[in-house]
Amino acid sequence: MYTKDKKFISGMFDEISPTYDKLNHLFSANQDKRWRKTAVKKLQNKGIKPKFILDLAAGSGDLGIEFLKLNPVQLFSTDISLEMLKINAVKNPDKRNILLKAEAERLPFPDNFFDLAGISFGIRNFERLDTCLKEIKRVLKKDGRLLVIEMFRPERKTIIHTLFDFYFSRLVTELGNKLSKSKYAYNYLFNSVNTFKSAAEYKALLHKSGFEVEYSKNNFLGIVNSVQAKKI
């Protein structure tokens, strides 16, 4: 089954929440932790000091934990999965971390409120990406940043990509479903990447939505990329 219906997505993440972190770290060989640390360190090195940060599709809170190293006044962690937010609350009990169940298409925040917004391995699940980007732009201040770390569809497939597809579509899917006790979650994961935009297409949509790309890093085979953009 493949759909980006919000009710389906929230239910799926509720279901796999107990094993989500362990399987993420297992299948990425813990590289997902390094990708988040490196991307946030890049912001730190540029002297960016956000007062208010939004962690969208925050899930269990790994990106939010890194964001707090920027020493903001407040971090707002939003997600449509209540069970993932419960895990976030346990992992990241910092009083600055405010948890909210909210959709990226309709954010409960005023215009020009955040200095920084981030999405770690969640933007490809957004049902209407262009609408979500416009909403993110609305709540960001002028020159506010949007950091996205995501698995994108590669521009062109090489032999290495074919081998990775085999690993991803067979081993990750079958083992992920078995360990998470889900019948479909890791099939969804594979399909969500295969049908998502390439990094170049995402950057073009950013430009169309009123953002300027400041930084882009290929973390893994052109599939996992970190893209930082500024509201213009």
Q: Read off the pLDDT band of 171 (50, 70, 90).
A: confident
Mapped onto helix, strand or coil, the DSSP state of residue 81 is: coil
Mean pLDDT across the chain: 95
Q: Where are the domains of the chain?
A: 6-155+197-231
Q: CA angle 133-136-142, nearest 5°?
A: 115
Per-residue pLDDT of 56-96, as tens digits, reads 999 999 999 999 999 999 999 999 999 999 999 999 999 99
Q: What confidence score (pLDDT) does residue 205 get?
A: 98
- % of the chain beyond a pLDDT of 90: 90
pLDDT at 210 over 70: yes
Q: Read off the pLDDT band of 43 (50, 70, 90).
A: very high
Per-residue pLDDT of 107-159, as tens digits, reads 999 999 999 999 999 999 999 999 999 999 999 999 999 999 999 999 888 88
Residue range 6-155+197-231 in CATH 1.10.1040.10: no
pLDDT at 166 over 90: no
CB 72 within 8 A of CB 53: yes
**Per DSSP, what are the bridge partners of residue 151?**
224
Mapped onto helix, strand or coil, the DSSP state of residue 75 is: strand
